[in-house]
Structure 1
């Protein structure tokens, strides 16, 4: 059962990363599937190994798996096929905590804005920066120095390693408890 749990974690990591690649340009679909797959893994740890505290601990690597799998696809796409452009920020439209910066390159304004979610953006009107744009228009414009698919891949692998460790720990715990004749839930 422990090996099946380890394999299930690996399949879930690959499956959600694949969903993110197929649904590139929208983050809602891989987030929803990722949350469902992460919850299934956590519930499987709880049901198969009767370890509520290990199931609770499985949420931490699940966060790494979720963020890594959702962010890896668009960043890898920008690194692979993105077009690097030197632009200037000419205008900003602020709606709540969403900042949409209008960009102008050497050959005119870009159709898509650079979006920053949060307060206190590090960009201001008049700043010059390098951005990566997707020629297919599926991935949002991103500042070139913030695109890091290897970091997202590392996060994804770290989450999978965490899940593997928890699955092995739960299996070892279950084995020891069965040898001692203890079959209670905690």
Structure 2
């Protein structure tokens, strides 16, 4: 008959192998951590993507909010015009070719009213004539160029230290990449 062989486990070998493997993993982890903390890491920022995102958000925000701001401005126009016109026609005298004429109070009030109405109408026509879509696009484009310039001038090559743990500090350097404009 066949003899059944009994498997013998060597506990000492198993523990030794486990400890050597764990030590090797810890050694690799420590070496990588030491390398990173000494040399630092470089973080790449795609300036095109960031600028396009900001441009889109500014354009959307202004397109949504300009009509609200313009409506509020329209509500404030009569009060502002009233404050500016008030007291402009104090003297009711008109002088023509050396002759002085006294103007009636009703005429002065009527003149003030007509002037206020004309100024308000002009301001309303300016506000109503504004192209909100074009204005929001211009503001978005300006934001795009501001972000691109700021990333290029203020953040390219900038380094700072990050401390993920109290005993570990990592030097992080920002590098700005020119992304491809996908329009």
Q: Same fold (TM over 0.5)?
A: no
TM-score after normalising by structure 1: 0.29
State the structure with more CA Rg: 2
Q: Which gives a bigger RCO, structure 1 or 2 (Cα 8 Å, sep 6+)?
A: 2
The answer to which structure has the higher helix fraction is 2
